[in-house]
Amino acid sequence: MASKSVFASTIGKLLPRANAWNREKAPAYGLEPRAALAQLAATGTFNRTFYAEPREQLAEVLKLARFVDAAFIAKTAIYAREKGHMKDMPAALLAILATLDTGDFAKAFPRVVVNGRMLRNFAQVIRSGAVGRKSFGSRPKRLILAWLAQASDEEILRASIGNDPSLADIIRMAHPKPQSKTREALYGYVVGRPYDVAQLPQIVKDLEAFKRDPTLPVPDVPFQLLTALPLTQKQWAAIAETASWQTLRQGLNTFARHGVFGIAGMSERVAERLADPYAIARAKVFPYQLMAAYAASAGEVPKVVRNALQEAMEIAIGNVPKLDQRIVVCPDVSGSMASPVTGYRKGASSVVRCIDVAALVAASFLRRNREVEVLPFEQDVVDIDLNPHDTVLTNAQKLAGIGGGGTNCSAPLERLARRKEKVDLVVFVSDNESWVDAAKGGYAGTATMRAWSKVKRVNPGAKLVCVDIQPYTTTQAVERADILNVGGFSDAVFEMIQAFAENGLSADHWIGEIEKIKL
């Protein structure tokens, strides 16, 4: 029999050499600049994470931007906004582009700044001076003016919600020239300057009239403009009837607190809207946002409404791949995964943790592929009994209830190798900060790569997908033909997994998907 120590050292020499350290000072593989920038764009929100401060994330983005061309920065900003549904990072990338002497900024701007919220995000990054300038400059100012000119009265009114900067600040900085008496009055109304009341858009007239006389019909305006008023139960119900799908989801407890569900038929009408497949698709809702709404809705929120959130979840995971393959999903349930998925933000941290998202991905795969094996891990694999016939939320809650311990990404792979199990696709959902299995010396690669090489001896055609949900830019498995690293927690990740599993795209197709965007 061959010497195990000699054989082990040979395997070590064949492994790709680790070229970085992760946040736990354990061996890792650093992503190349384009992949690292894409990772930050897909997961970063400039909030504090378990291992990183906001300034570190921004510094990393600025550094990486020096190593990639402007066209790729523009495409990444568009991808992060259109596919990843991110807000902060696309705005930051756009601000970086504004400092470069290239036409890519003008091409990316209208696809990133799609609403007032994104306009304010962009202005906030510029005003902070973080990218090297504090004023708009002629090119950004010209595009901001174009956005203001084409925006409807309703969009301008909606954009007026929020501060730091407010839309009024942006108008003062950009100095738009109104193209009509109505728009002149609207700008004056938003900024707080004298204006001709008779020229105000009808939507603003309705709002102001309602403020003076709350017995009038509730105007069809963003409900944030009404919440400070002494509204009646029926008026709150009227707001719920006309609210956007996302506003309805987010405001369930508020509507319950104001007695909306006490009105006959309202519970059923709200439930019907929440479970409407078309509305769910239009809202571009993250499955984890539905999990948050379900977890937060309690007390006075009726069961029929909570059940509708579960139905909405089943619809929202519709593009989780259904594959005729032997699949193993490995959600990371270690201690670091207890941090909010979008980072810590004083007074406004998401109630959804990284572990919730990892559990949700695993439960979604199990729901769509009944033969999936789920191997949650921390320091070792944690055995758990999941019923594929249970709802996604039920199984996700079971998985998320484990939690704690150190991170050992190689543990599930070692179990598969030890048992010589047949497998076609292994999907990890982690922050990739593995350290329990860090080599003490003598190995060139990570423990995850050593364990994967053992799995491959039994399953030469197997593929590994590592879904990273935190912006740390290192991985435990190096990119190659059978290994895909992808970041984020949007539906686009599921699409990539399916394409990779079915040989539709190569291992570097995440970058390829970004490169395919036409400017």
* Nearest 10 degrees: Cα torsion 431, 437, 443, 446: -20
The pLDDT assigned to 10 comes to 41
User: Residue 135 domain-assigned?
Assistant: no
Q: Which residue has the tokens 């809650």?
A: 397
Chain segment 29-59, per-residue pLDDT in tens: 998 999 989 888 888 777 666 656 667 888 8
Return the sign of the alpha-carbon dihedral for residues 251, 256, 257, 263: positive
Q: Are residues 339 and 487 in the same domain?
A: yes
Residue 244 domain-assigned? Answer: yes
In a shared domain, residues 367 and 451? yes
> For strand 27-30 and strand 20-21, is the pairing parallel, antiparallel, or unpaired?
antiparallel
List Cα–Cα distances, 333 to 106, 128, 293, 338, 423, in angstroms: 43, 36, 22, 8, 22
Give the phi and the psi of residue 492 in degrees, each rounded to 5. Answer: -60, -30
Which range of residues forms the domain containing residue 339? Answer: 4-29+319-515
pLDDT at 507: 54
SS3 at position 182: helix
Q: Are 210 and 227 in contact (CB under 8 A)?
A: no
Same domain, 293 and 342: no
Q: How many Å apart are CA 425 and CA 215, to the nearest integer?
A: 61
* Two structure tokens written together for 72: 């790729």
Q: What pLDDT, on a 0 to 100 scale, did the predictor assign at position 346?
A: 63
For residue 47, being part of any structural domain is answered with no
Do residues 272 and 342 share a domain?
no
H helices of 30-103, in order, are 33-43, 54-65, 70-82, 88-98
Does residue 401 sit in the same domain as residue 281?
no
Together in a domain, 397 and 283: no
- Check whether residue 289 and residue 339 sit in a common domain: no
Q: In this structure, what is the dihedral angle of CA atoms 224, 227, 233, 239, given to the nearest 10 degrees?
A: -10
In a domain, 414, yes or no: yes
First to last CA, the chain: 60
Number of structural domains, the chain? 2
Does 267 map to a domain?
yes
Strands of 198-284 (E only): list them: none
- The whole-angstrom separation of Cα 235 and Cα 145 is 36
What is d(CA 166, CA 362) in angstroms, rounded to the nearest whole number?
A: 40
Strand ranges, E, within 411-480: 425-430, 463-468, 474-475
Whether 89 maps to a domain, the answer reads no
Q: What is the C-alpha separation between 202 and 62, in angstroms, rounded?
A: 44
Could you give the 3-state DSSP secondary structure of residue 427? strand
For residue 346 the two structure tokens come to 């004083």
Do 448 and 475 meet the contact criterion of CB atoms below 8 Å apart? Answer: no
Tokens of 63: 């550094």
Quick check: 208 and 158 in contact, CB under 8 A? no
The phi and psi torsions of 269 (rounded to 5 degrees) equal: -70, -40
Helix (H) or strand (E) holding 474: strand 474-475
- Phi and psi (nearest 5°) for 339? -75, 155
**Residue 1 has what pLDDT?**
42
Q: Do both 323 and 445 map to the same domain?
A: yes
Alpha helices in 113-244 (DSSP H): 116-128, 138-150, 153-159, 167-174, 181-191, 202-212, 233-242
Burial of 502 (0-12, 13-18, 19+ CB in 10 A): middle
Q: Give the integer Cα–Cα distance in Å for 439 and 29.
A: 14
- Domain-located, residue 438: yes
Strand order through the sheet with 425-430: 373-374, 327-331, 425-430, 463-468, 483-487
- CB within 8 Å of 48: residues ≥ 6 apart: 54, 343, 344, 345
Residue 32 tokens read as: 């190349």
CA distance 49 to 342: 8
Residues 372 and 267 in one domain: no
* Contacts with 5 (C-beta within 8 Å, 6 or more apart), sequence order: none
The amino acid at 408? N
Domain's final residue, options 316, 332, 349: 316
- Look at residue 349 in the predicted model and tell me its pLDDT: 59
Measured CA to CA, the distance from residue 60 to residue 65 in angstroms comes to: 8
- In order, the DSSP letters of 403-424 are --S---TTHHHHHHHHTT---S
Q: Which of 279, 299, 316 is the last residue of a domain?
A: 316
pLDDT at 15: 80
- Which domain CATH number covers 490? 3.40.50.410
Residue 70 lies inside a defined structural domain of this protein: no
Give the model's pLDDT for residue 345: 63
Alpha carbons 247 and 27: distance in angstroms, whole number: 44
Q: What is the pLDDT of residue 287?
A: 78
pLDDT recorded at residue 132: 84
- The CB density around residue 512, as the number of other CB atoms within 10 Å, is 11
Which of 316, 345, 370 marks a domain boundary? Answer: 316
Strand, coil or helix: what is 429?
strand
- Residues 360 and 455 occupy one common structural domain: yes
Are residues 379 and 465 both part of a single domain? Answer: yes
Tell me how far apart the alpha carbons of residues 165 and 388 are, in angstroms, rounded to a whole number: 47
Do the Cβ atoms of 310 and 294 come closer than 8 Å?
Answer: yes
Same domain, 399 and 463: yes
pLDDT at 440: 56
- The conformational region for residue 376 under phi > 0 = left, psi -120 to 50 = alpha, else beta, is beta
Hunting for tokens 């931007």 — which residue is that?
Answer: 65
The residues of the chain scoring below 70 in pLDDT are 1-14, 47-54, 319, 343-350, 440-443, 504-508
Say if residues 12 and 450 touch (Cβ distance below 8 Å): yes
